[in-house]
Amino acid sequence: MTGVASTKDIPAGDRRVRRSQAALQGALIQLVEERELAQVSVADVAERAGVSRSTFYDHYRDVHELAEAACTTMIDDLIGSLPAFGSPDQAQDPTRPLRAFFTSLAAHAGLYRSLLGPQGSARVIDHVRRRITVAIHLGVRRALTGDTCSTDTSHDVPAAFTAGALIGVAADWLQRGCPRTPAEMAALTWPLLTASYLNAGMSCSPPPTS
């Protein structure tokens, strides 16, 4: 198979960097399940990852920067694994992507609560918003036009509006301690987001020409 780089094709130095970063991110995720992010120190993460503190500082300035990296990596993996809007999988079960989204948030609630909350990370919130906006934009384009190859990420106000609404709902749910199950959140959120996108799209449509 061409076009796919195997692990052995990656320079040894890059492989070491990736292993160290993955170990540090994994250690932090474990620790945040045990205590609040603010209570996790660099020494805690380094010890759990089995590396030195100097190795930690080779990659990240502090625990907060590591948390941002871990969170954005998880979001990228999650969005990349979700069925696209308008795909056959979603047609059969329209709430499936949202269930997966809320399930992932619940599985790492401590980390997401810290970074998406009122004292959280603007960088992470912006990253999540942009990734969801692009996913909605390309998904709707695919569903409406059948275009499965487009990389067009034009400014889509309805998609941005819908992504912002989803992040707001998710952040509120996390701050309240996830009182509803991911399935319940998906069932409640799906019709709201659908209506939100359609209404925003209609309001943004150009006026008819006379």
CATH at 34: 1.10.10.60
Which of 53, 46, 60, 48 minimizes the C-alpha distance to 17?
60
pLDDT value for 7: 39
Half-sphere exposure of 176 (CA within 13 A, CB side): 11
200 band by pLDDT with thresholds 50, 70 and 90:
low
The sign one gets for the Cα dihedral 192, 193, 194, 196 is positive
Is residue 102 included in any domain, yes or no?
yes
The residue type found at 96 is: R
* The overall pTM is greater than 0.85: no
4 domain-assigned? no
Q: Are 43 and 83 in the same domain?
A: no
User: Looking at the 3D structure of the chain, how many domains does it have?
Assistant: 2
Residue 79 has which token pair?
């969005």
41 within domain boundaries:
yes
The rounded distance, in Å, linking the Cα atoms of 30 and 132 is 26
Strand residue runs (E) in the chain = none
Give the tens place of pLDDT for each residue, 99-135. 989 999 999 999 999 999 888 899 999 999 999 888 8
The tens digit of pLDDT for each residue in 26-53 reads 999 999 989 999 999 999 999 999 999 9
Domain range enclosing 81:
67-203
- Quick check: is 170 in a domain? yes
* 89 and 191 fall within a common domain: yes
Looking at the structure, do residues 127 and 175 belong to the same domain, yes or no? yes
Q: Is 201 exposed, middle or buried (0-12, 13-18, 19+ CB in 10 A)?
A: middle
CA 179 – CA 146 distance, rounded (Å): 38
User: pLDDT tens digits, residue range 178-199?
Assistant: 999 999 999 999 888 888 766 6
Q: Give a yes or no: residue 157 inside a domain.
A: yes
Residue 2 lies in a domain: no
DSSP letter string over 55-81? HHHHH-SSHHHHHHHHHHHHHHHHHHH
Looking at the fold, whether 137 and 92 belong to one and the same domain comes out as: yes
Whether 41 and 88 share a structural domain: no
